Amino acid sequence: MRIGIVCYPTYGGSGVLATELGIGLAKKGHEVHFISYKRPARLTSYISNVFLHEVGSYEYPLFEHPPYDSLLASKIVDVAQHANLDVLHVHYAIPHATVAFLATQILQAQNIRLPFVTTLHGTDITLVGLDKSLSSVVEFSINKSDKVTVVSDSLKMQTLSQFKIEKKINVIYNFINLQRFDRKPNPENRAAFAPNGEKIIMHISNFRPVKRVDDAVRAFAEIRKKVPAKLLLIGDGPERIKVEAMCRELGTCSDIHFLGKQDAVEDLLSIADLFLLPSAKESFGLAALEAMACGVPVVSSNAGGLPEVNIDGETCFLCDISDWEAMATKALLLLEDEDLLASFRSNARNKALEFSRDNIVPQYEQVYQQCVEKVVAKV
């Protein structure tokens, strides 16, 4: 099957999932065409059957901003025509679902029927999509999709409660490459951050307000009072300056490392003892799953889909949103008890096995096949 995938090329969950899905599909023999404004962050090497089509820019004095939606629609039409796509899969509703509808209408005028699947990832529904200036377009685009998928039951419920959806919504969980995300600790890496055997605590995000990175820092400050520890903060974004200032105020700078964006996060996760994820919203919790796959227990908020990924008291501890004191208390239960920590490590890895690429990719293949069969039936 020839599949077009439209996604954001960044480190965010939607782009990561879309890229890993494309790679998984290509390894199963499908022809995959990525369409985005630059190479996706997780597409780091040549893979047979994978093609990248970059959306160009267009400058004209009349335009304050380049007309990306029109450029993307034109690129989709071009790829669909010349690569003979069987199905188009767009990740993150805004603006991709709307652009996909426009592109398929243009193709239909040329007697080319291209079905498209929209996967909703979270903030396209729970945050950005709720803006009154966008909500009607988001709702329309979802309903015009041939198939709609979401990454958790929680997100499905939120979508149905906030929009008038006429389509059946399929829940297909996020997944990871378990061969890549496996605990392979490098003693030199661990010694570099924890030379005196300190516990290593980690947080990974895009440092947006919704991730509540400041709560992770507050919790760490409490943990540090009882257990020698280091905090590794991976990622970057608008909250970083605020969080850096907080570290100075709390006097914890010597034990906190800001590592910025990292490609090989699995190398760092492999040396971690605990993962903190205090998000206010989390449609699934892909970062938590990556940590679990590397045998790292998670202490997180109970937001969104996180309870669907983790089992409270077995693979993780779940706390109320903004309750960083509870997060610190739960973290100390693990960090001060090596046997309990070892048990949670094993449970986390075993739970992550349920979200393997081999388990999830066939669910998307089934959705694509249903789309293609529907087109054939109409011919």
Ordered structural domains, the chain, with CATH: 2-175+357-378 (3.40.50.2000), 187-355 (3.40.50.2000)
Q: What is the pLDDT of residue 105?
A: 96
Percent helix, strand and coil across the chain, each to the nearest 5: 50, 15, 35
DSSP string, 282-326: -SS-HHHHHHHHTT--EEEE--TTHHHH--BTTTEEEE-TT-HHH
Q: What is the pLDDT of residue 377?
A: 67
| Residues 74, 80: Cα–Cα separation, whole Å | 10
* 287 close to 204: Cβ distance less than 8 angstroms: yes
Q: What is the pLDDT of residue 99?
A: 96
Stretches in the chain below the pLDDT threshold 50 = none
Q: What is the pLDDT of residue 123?
A: 77
Is the dihedral angle over the CA atoms 78, 14, 203, 356 positive or is it negative? negative
Query: Mind listing the pLDDT tens digit for each residue in 6-40?
Result: 999 986 778 889 999 999 999 999 999 999 999 98
Is the dihedral angle over the CA atoms 107, 111, 117, 118 positive or is it negative? positive
Angle at 363 (CA atoms; ends 171, 40), nearest 5 degrees: 85
Query: Mind listing the pLDDT tens digit for each residue in 59-113?
Result: 767 777 788 899 999 999 999 999 999 999 999 888 999 999 999 999 999 999 9
Closest CA to 308 of 329, 286, 327, 330: 286
| Residues 254, 283: Cα–Cα separation, whole Å | 33
Query: How many Å separate Cα 178 from the centre of its chain?
Result: 16
